[in-house]
Structure formats: C-alpha cells, structure tokens
A and B are shown apart, each in its own frame.
Chain A
Amino acid sequence: MHEAHPASPLIEGNKTYRQVTDEVFRPTESKPPRAWFIAIAITLSMLSLGGWAIFNTLTKGIGTWGLNKTVGWAFDITNFVFWVGIGHAGTLISAILFLFRQHWRTSINRAAEAMTIFAVMCAGLFPIIHMGRPWVGHWALPLPNTRGPLWVNFRSPLLWDVFAISTYFIVSAVFWYIGLVPDLATQRDRAPEGSTKKRILSILSLGWNGSNRRWTRYETVYGLLAGLATPLVVSVHTIVSWDFATSVIPGWHATLFPPYFVAGAVFSGFAMVLSLMIVARKVMDFEEYITKAHLEAMAKVLLLTGMIVSFAYATEFFIAWYSGNPYERYVFLNRATGPFKWAFWAMFTCNVVTPHFLWSKKVRTTPWILFILSIFVNIGMWFERFVIIVTSLHRDYLPSSWTNYTPTFNEAATFIGTFGLFLTLFLLFCRVLPMIAASEVKGVLKNGDH
C-alpha cells in the first residue's frame, strides 16, 4: 500500500491547511463549468430512458423482459448483484482501511462512500421492479398485516437480502453523514451570511464547533461505525451469494460462494472507484490530492482481488471435475463451450487476464491505462454475474425445458437508466458537497503550516 516513507507525503504540493480548505470547497462554491452541464445532460437522458423502461415494465408487466419459464432470473438480478458489488469498495475504503490504519484512504473515502450509497440505490431498484407490483413492495417486510397466514418467509435468503441491504444502506448513509459533519461545518462557516445555503448547512452540521470534546466524540463514533460496517459489508455480499448457493442448482450451489462473492464485489467496486476517480481528479483539479500513489494503491487492491476471483473460478472448475458429479461437470463445460460461451470468455478475459497487466508499476501509475483496465474489470464483473445466473439456469436437469435467453431492449434500457441515476447523483454530489474529506486530509498533511 502506501509508503510510510518520510519522503513521500500522501498529499502533494506542500499544501497549507488553508489551501486544502480553499481547494476542496471550491467546486461547491463556484458555478459548474460547461463540461459538467454537458455531462449531466447525458446522464439525465440515460436516467430518462431508464424511467421510460421502468414505466413500461410497470404498466405492461414483466413480459417486457426476456425472461421465460426456465430462465426466471437474468438481466435484473445480474444488475442487482452488479450494483450491490460496486458499493462494496466504498465501505472497504472507509471502514476496513480505517481499521487497518491505511491513511491514504483519506483522499478517496468520501467519494467512494457516496458511490456506495448511490450504487445500493440502483441495486435496490431491481428486486422492487421485478416484483411487478412495487406498490405492494412493503410486503417484503415482516410488518403486522391483515393477510392472515401470508407472512414473509424467514427461511428464504431473499428475505435476508431485504434485511441485509436495507441495513447496509442505512449504516453506509449514517457513516457517510457522520464523516461529513466537520466538513459541513466548514462549508457552513464559508457560506455567505444569511443565505439559505447557510441555514441548511447549519442544520446539517449539527452545531459542530470543532471543540476538543466534539472531536473526541466524533472519533469514538467514527471508530464504532467502522467496526460495525466491517462485518456488515462482508455479510451483505455473503447473503447475496446465498440467494444462489442455498439452492440445489449446479453452478449455484457452491460453498465457496460467500468469500468469492465478497472478493468479487471488492474487485468490481475498486474498478468503479478507479474509473470515477481517474476522471474526477483530472477534471476537478484534484491531482495533488488523489495522487498517482493513490491510484497505484487501488491498482494493487485490484490485482489482489482479481487474483482471488481467478482462484475462485479455478477452484469451481477443479472441484466440478474432482466431484465426478455429471451435473456439476456439465454446467462448467457448458459455461465455457455452450451457447453463452461468449459471455464466459468475455468474463474470463476481463477478470482473469486484465488484472495481470497491473504487475507493472508503469501500468499502475499511468492513469489512462488504469482507466481502460478498470472499465474492462467493470464489464467483466457484470458478465460474471450474468454467466453464473443465466448459464446455470438455461440448461437444467430436464433437457426438455432447456432454452435460451435474450435480453429485450426494455431490460437494457433499465440497466442504462441505473447508470444514469448513479452518474447523475455522483455529478450532483461533486458540486454540492466536498468530494474530498478535507478534515481527514488535514490530519495526514506532512508539511502543513503548523
């Protein structure tokens, strides 16, 4: 990870505290540039397309999707798992790296946590629209009701998902907000006297005054939340993996799934953080805050988690062969050589081959190459879920029910729509709140004016 070497400060440019405050809060206090408006116009169009697709789904029904009797889960659940996974990097950076005292996290944790929250919002959308009747979505909660014996199934991992993801969303949002409070106070203090902005920020910053006592309590709460978020983030993708692994479907039922899904989630999440941060540091002029050393550290995490994912693929194939179970063997053979082999090999190339470019320090510190690699990983991790879900379902025990699956335009549009939602929220976040945790960055300044 980062070098604890006296010669390599985490923040470049020999900044003073004042400079940090000015530079970090500048985007929240100035008019957005034209590029920002163009970007948000694009993402809003994507969002509108998704809105149309969801409207279509809700008014016409799930028939607008390409699902059939054999393949009952496909694009929707793939997208769901994809987005939940993206969220994991945020919690890893904010909580787990905090517990491991990895101080380089301070430049990226705020944005990564925001990304977590937006990604979980995108993820949550899919199970809800998949219900077909989202207006009875609250039936997924164990609420007292007048429906007699109609009650949630506590033995179903799908219900555990409801609990896991909603808890994850709440804790992530609280963690993010608590971390924001000192910066919100700075933002409040800098806002013009009497402005609406100041009034709103006064409420949000909870009367923060930077006193010693506030800081002590803040740090206690932050540490506790980090400790709480750590098992939580592991549990979320574990339970998502149980959606599949508790079944008796070859290709789904594997005891390896929980840690394998968690590692995959961190892999995809870090790829997304890299993609976003490489662009953001450039256009927002944060290259001295999110330095090449930060990119390199993230690239190393990507390499490690990519290899864990490759290890999981290899284990699955080996045990399928070792088991001697004809169904297990067939599923994996079918993945690599069947009608969806293109998806399998796309996944293999993106997830197994691409990370190995990261052995080179040159690659790890060249932003544009990293950007391309991170996009490949994003694509690969989407395909991973698609491969697991669709190839395991489309040819089951009964050859008479074998079939294929083709996504409809409506499904693709919904997926594009979630990207629209995700990126729109991120663009708004960049201009409204300090994207970098100024108060935390000040704590790791080596050459500040103290």
Chain B
Amino acid sequence: MSHSSEAHEVMPDLSPIPGLRKLGRKLQKSALGLVALGLLCLFLGASGKHIWGNVLIAGFNLTGVGLGALFFLAVQVLTSARWSDPILAPLHAMPRVLPFAAIVMLSLWFGATQVYPWAMPEYANNHHIHGRHAWLNAPFFFLRVALFFGLWIGIGQALLKRHKLAAPFIAVFAATFALASFDWIMSVEPLWYSTIFGIYGFAGMFVQGIALLTLSAIALRNFGLVRGVAHARNHDLGKLLFAFSCFWAYIWLSQFMLIWYSNIPEEIGPMKALVFGPWAPLFYLNVVLNFVAPFFLLIQKKAKQDETVLIWAAVILLAGHWLDIYLMVFPALTKAAAPSFGLAEVGGILLTLGCGHLAVWSRLTRSRPTTWDDRFATGASLIDDQHKALHDQVTGLFDLIEGFRPGKEREIAAAFKAFTAGLKEHIETEEATMANIGEPLAKEHQRAHREYLLSLERLIGRGDYGPNSHEDLLNALGEFRLHFDTQEEQALLDHLRTSGHPH
C-alpha cells in the first residue's frame, strides 16, 4: 500500500450535513413503508416461483449495492485517488445494505424448492443433477450464503475504518462474489455453466454501483447537501458509467458469442429459449438498456457533464441491470413460458428500493463528522494544532448530543462555548498568519468567518441546549466541516503548505 493512503486512515465523510439528518429521518419512515409495501406485493404474487424468484433478484441486487460500494472504495484507496473524495459519503452508507441483503438471501431457505431445481424433490433422482449434489444442497448452500455475508460485512466494516484492508478485501471479494454468482444465479439452471459468470455478475453489479453513486452525488449537490463539489465530478462519473457499460457489453458478448458459436447443446439450450422464444424482445431490450442506449447517450463529452443526461443514463442502467438479472432467473424458473410482469416483480423492486433507502439513511442520519486527517496538515504547527483540536471538539460535541440524556445540557453548553472560543482564536491566528506573509485573506472569506462566528454566538445567546435545539446545534457543527472543505479554505491550506512555514 502506498505511503499516502496510510497517512489518512479515516475515509473523508461529509456527513452529517446540515439538513441531511432531518431529511434522513423522514425518509427512513418512508423507506419502512416501501419495505412493507414491497413485502405485501410479493406475497400477493402469482405463484411461489414468482414470489421467490423476485426475492432472489432483490437479494442479489441488494448484495450488489453493498459490495459495489465497498469495491469502489477499495479501488480508490489502492490508487490513492483524490478526485472522488467529495462524493464518498454515499459510498460509506451503501455497505449498510449488506445485513438487509443477508436477511433477504437467507429467507430464500423457505423458498429454495421453488427456485432451485437441485432443491426440488422431483429432481432428487435426476442423475444429471445428482452429480452436483455435493455442492448444490440446501444446508451447504445456505452455509455458504452465511459465510459470504459474514466475510463481506466483517471485512467491509473494517475496510471503512482501516485502509490497509483494501487489497485483501478485493481478493476475498473476487473469490466469494464469483462463487455467489455461480451459486445464487447460475444454479437456477443447474445443468448450464459458464466460467465467465462470476465476472458477468460483477460487471452488472459494478455498473449498478456507479449509477447509484452518480444519482446520489447529483442528489446531494442539488439538495445543497454537499458544497465544493467541482463540476468535473460529473464528467468523471459520466466516464465511469460509459466505460463500465462498455465493460458489461464486453463480458456479455464474451459469454453469449462463445456459447452461440460453439453451439454445444447443453450450453445453448437455455440460450435458445431466450433468443428465439417469447423472451426475445426482452433479450434485445437488455442489450439496449445496458449498452446501446447509455453508449449513445454518453459518448459526447458534453453529455457526460450534463446532469440531466447523467440521470437518464443512470436510471436506464439501473433498470437494465434489474432486467439483466431477471433474464438470468425467470426464463429458467418458468421453463420459458412467456414472461409475465406482475405484482411479485413490483414487490421485489419495492423491497430492493426500501431496504436500500433504509440502510443508506440509517447511516447518513447517525454518522459523525470526520475526525482529523493528516492530509489536512499544513506544516505550520500552530494552525495544525488548532485544526486538530477543533475537529476533536466537534466530534466530542456530536457524541454528547447523540447520546443526550436530560441533565447533560450544562456539559453541552460548556463544550459548545469552548468550541466557539477556540474557533474565534483560530480564525484570528489564521488571518494574522496570512497577513504576516503578505497575503491577507479575501474579503469574502473573512466575512464567511465572521458570519459563522456570529451564528454560533447567536446559538449560545439562546441558551437552550435541550433536544429542541439539537438539530440547529448539529447543523452549526456540520457547517464547520463544510467550510473546512470549501475551495477557499483548502486553497488557503495549500498556500500555507507551499509558502514556507511561519512558526
């Protein structure tokens, strides 16, 4: 691992962001509603196959959301990437979905005989399937499901805190996710096999992750929840969407083309139903949604920078990904009977959306602001010490307010006043330092400092530290991190780094 990634062990995290917590709590309730509605629709589904098939799709997609985010984070760490720092907050929230995914996948225990032929009693004596019982049997299958989730959640949690695990995570992820793709999806058609299937699962899952990241980054910015995110991030996300949609197409082609060309009966069998049967329109639609449409939408530079186009591309790709998994599961389940889109499908999608929302908001409403990170250092010891102390104070205050009990008001008041006093002193130091080296701060920057101080003093003036003011207090503290991340402040830090260190 490179030296610089060790230097900042803690991932930058923009939450809590003023306003986000309030919104998050509201959305959490609606997410619960989505989950309930999803379950209701599922159980009104046409048949056991439809119900459990959609549970499987939801479980696989939710797993993909969590793992896609972890994989993305790990890659950022390993490449010492900086461009993505401002949009990492949603990526920290997305892995929270994994426990929900585990519940959904493990619940398949009750429906395995509906989905997996190898678990169906009528196939127990089928000699083709019989040869696979050593691997494909319900106890071992669900043991693997549990083991995989244990690894993903365990290493994933640790990865969010310690960057050293990025490389081992990727190795574990590659092995386990490939096996999960074989197990969960490929074995729906137990006589069919394709060595690329693990990578195929990864390609779709990663596109889904980038699409979600794109939508979240755009949403956070448009709700005014993230500041200082350069417009160039759009372009970067657009390029990633474009590139990985192409990657999906490459892997799709590798699988389909080789099976079509070789025309081996046991391989081509299930494909035939897809290409020539009643599923054919969906088969072509899959390629259009996952590749053709995003390719032409995003090929121009201007398009990759345009928020509206990005939103469309991301939504098309998310729909495409759902369809892609649907086509891997349902033609096999329904034995190529014509596709029928019913309540169960709606239920599966609602369940996915609901669990996703629930997980993401449970993170974004509870997280703490980032603690000090060594890459903020300027080398000027006084300023660095002050920054460090201020970060610690903000974190301490967050802990106090999060764990509020009646009677703690006085403690919060003292800490809040100490923070305000420290900040005032720091702002004076910073401005004096800049004046000393002959580069006084810009007027607007100074005004921002003053206004922030004033707002803090106004809060102190109210003298209320009970639950009613918590939202305002937390918002004010969040502002500190937001200001710290603005371009002016970072430019100032950069300037201090390069222009010698006045001690």
Interface stretch of the complex, out of A118-126, A137-145, A309-317: A309-317
Complex contact B497–A319 (CB within 8 A): no
Contact with B along A342-373 (1 / 0, CB 8 A): 00000000000000000101000000000000
Complex contact B178–A248 (CB within 8 A): no
Complex contact B198–A323 (CB within 8 A): no
**A6: B residues at CB distance < 8 A:** 497-498
Complex contact B4–A5 (CB within 8 A): yes
- Beyond A3-B3, A255-B196, whether A246 also contacts B250 by CB under 8 A is no
Select from chain A the residue with minimum beta-carbon distance to B498: A6
Complex contact B196–A4 (CB within 8 A): no
Which residue among B195, B246, B251 has the maximum number of chain A CB atoms within 10 Å of its CB? B195
**A361: B residues at CB distance < 8 A:** 1
Q: How many A-B residue pairs have CB under 8 A?
A: 92
- Beyond A3-B2, A4-B82, A311-B175, whether A255 also contacts B259 by CB under 8 A is yes
Select from chain A the residue with minimum beta-carbon distance to B132: A324
User: How long is the Cα–Cα vector from A387 to B131 in the complex, in angstroms?
Assistant: 28
User: How long is the Cα–Cα vector from A135 to B246 in the complex, in angstroms?
Assistant: 40
Contact with A along B217-260 (1 / 0, CB 8 A): 00000000000000000000000000000100011001100110
- A253 at the B interface (CB under 8 A): yes
- B109 at the A interface (CB under 8 A): no
Complex contact B2–A323 (CB within 8 A): no
- B381 at the A interface (CB under 8 A): no
B174 to chain A, nearest CB (A): 5
- Beyond A315-B178, A319-B195, A323-B193, whether A4 also contacts B258 by CB under 8 A is no
Complex contact B2–A1 (CB within 8 A): yes
Complex contact B80–A4 (CB within 8 A): yes
- B110 at the A interface (CB under 8 A): no
- B171 at the A interface (CB under 8 A): yes
**A316: B residues at CB distance < 8 A:** 195
A363 to chain B, nearest CB (A): 14
- Beyond A255-B254, A256-B195, whether A311 also contacts B178 by CB under 8 A is yes
**A324: B residues at CB distance < 8 A:** 128, 131-132
**A315: B residues at CB distance < 8 A:** 178, 195, 198
Complex contact B135–A322 (CB within 8 A): yes
**B251: A residues at CB distance < 8 A:** 259
**A234: B residues at CB distance < 8 A:** 250
Complex contact B254–A253 (CB within 8 A): no
**A1: B residues at CB distance < 8 A:** 2, 78-80
A115 to chain B, nearest CB (A): 24
Select from chain B the residue with minimum beta-carbon distance to A316: B195
Complex contact A3–B4 (CB within 8 A): yes
Complex contact B196–A246 (CB within 8 A): no
- B398 at the A interface (CB under 8 A): no
Within 8 A of B (CB), among A231-246: 231, 234, 238, 242, 245-246
Contact with A along B166-198 (1 / 0, CB 8 A): 010001001100110010000000000111111
- Beyond A238-B254, A319-B193, whether A4 also contacts B4 by CB under 8 A is yes
Which residue among A242, A255, A318 has the maximum number of chain B CB atoms within 10 Å of its CB? A255
Which residue among A3, A234, A323 has the maximum number of chain B CB atoms within 10 Å of its CB? A323
- B262 at the A interface (CB under 8 A): yes
A423 to chain B, nearest CB (A): 33
Within 8 A of B (CB), among A249-291: 253-259
- Beyond A1-B80, A258-B254, A324-B128, whether A307 also contacts B194 by CB under 8 A is no
- A198 at the B interface (CB under 8 A): no
Total interface residues in chain A, CB < 8 Å = 37
- A247 at the B interface (CB under 8 A): yes
Complex contact B178–A258 (CB within 8 A): no
A166 to chain B, nearest CB (A): 21
**A308: B residues at CB distance < 8 A:** 174
A292 to chain B, nearest CB (A): 12
Size class of B's contact patch?
Answer: 35 or more
User: How long is the Cα–Cα vector from A256 to B195 in the complex, in angstroms?
Assistant: 5
Question: Which of B3, B174, B182 is the one whose CB lies under 8 Å from A311?
Answer: B174
Complex contact B196–A5 (CB within 8 A): no
Within 8 A of A (CB), among B142-175: 167, 171, 174-175
Contact with A along B462-484 (1 / 0, CB 8 A): 00000000000000000000000
- Beyond A245-B258, A322-B132, A324-B131, whether A253 also contacts B264 by CB under 8 A is yes
- A130 at the B interface (CB under 8 A): no
- B199 at the A interface (CB under 8 A): yes
Complex contact A3–B80 (CB within 8 A): yes
User: How long is the Cα–Cα vector from A2 to B82 in the complex, in angstroms?
Assistant: 12
Question: Which of A5, A259, A323 is the one whose CB lies under 8 Å from B254?
Answer: A259
Select from chain B the residue with minimum beta-carbon distance to A230: B243
**A238: B residues at CB distance < 8 A:** 250, 254
User: How long is the Cα–Cα vector from A259 to B2 in the complex, in angstroms?
Assistant: 27
Within 8 A of A (CB), among B334-351: none
- B261 at the A interface (CB under 8 A): yes
**B3: A residues at CB distance < 8 A:** 3, 5, 8
- Beyond A6-B497, A246-B261, A323-B193, whether A258 also contacts B250 by CB under 8 A is yes
**A4: B residues at CB distance < 8 A:** 4, 80, 82
User: How long is the Cα–Cα vector from A100 to B174 in the complex, in angstroms?
Assistant: 22
Complex contact A246–B262 (CB within 8 A): yes
**B79: A residues at CB distance < 8 A:** 1
User: How long is the Cα–Cα vector from A300 to B167 in the complex, in angstroms?
Assistant: 10
Complex contact B196–A256 (CB within 8 A): yes
**A245: B residues at CB distance < 8 A:** 258, 262
**B7: A residues at CB distance < 8 A:** 5
Within 8 A of A (CB), among B1-50: 1-4, 7
Complex contact A246–B258 (CB within 8 A): yes
Within 8 A of A (CB), among B259-289: 259, 261-262, 264, 266
- Beyond A4-B82, A259-B199, A311-B178, whether A322 also contacts B258 by CB under 8 A is no
- Beyond A319-B193, A323-B193, whether A253 also contacts B171 by CB under 8 A is no
User: How long is the Cα–Cα vector from A85 to B171 in the complex, in angstroms?
Assistant: 24
User: How long is the Cα–Cα vector from A315 to B167 in the complex, in angstroms?
Assistant: 20
Complex contact B254–A2 (CB within 8 A): no
**B128: A residues at CB distance < 8 A:** 324
Complex contact A322–B182 (CB within 8 A): yes
Complex contact A242–B258 (CB within 8 A): yes
User: How long is the Cα–Cα vector from A102 to B129 in the complex, in angstroms?
Assistant: 49
**A255: B residues at CB distance < 8 A:** 194-197, 254-255, 258-259
Complex contact A314–B261 (CB within 8 A): no
B390 to chain A, nearest CB (A): 24
B316 to chain A, nearest CB (A): 22
Complex contact A247–B262 (CB within 8 A): yes
**B132: A residues at CB distance < 8 A:** 322, 324
A128 to chain B, nearest CB (A): 26
B461 to chain A, nearest CB (A): 43
- B residues contacting A by CB (< 8 A) are 1-4, 7, 78-80, 82, 128, 131-132, 135, 167, 171, 174-175, 178-179, 182, 193-199, 246, 250-251, 254-255, 258-259, 261-262, 264, 266, 497-498
Given A253-B264, A319-B195, 18 extra CB contacts under 8 A: A1-B80, A4-B82, A5-B3, A8-B3, A238-B250, A247-B262, A248-B262, A255-B259, A256-B196, A258-B254, A258-B258, A259-B196, A259-B199, A259-B250, A259-B254, A315-B198, A316-B195, A359-B167
20 A-B pairs, CB-CB below 8 angstroms? Answer: A1-B2, A1-B78, A1-B80, A3-B4, A4-B4, A253-B264, A256-B196, A258-B250, A259-B250, A307-B171, A307-B174, A311-B178, A314-B175, A315-B178, A319-B182, A319-B194, A322-B193, A323-B193, A324-B131, A359-B167
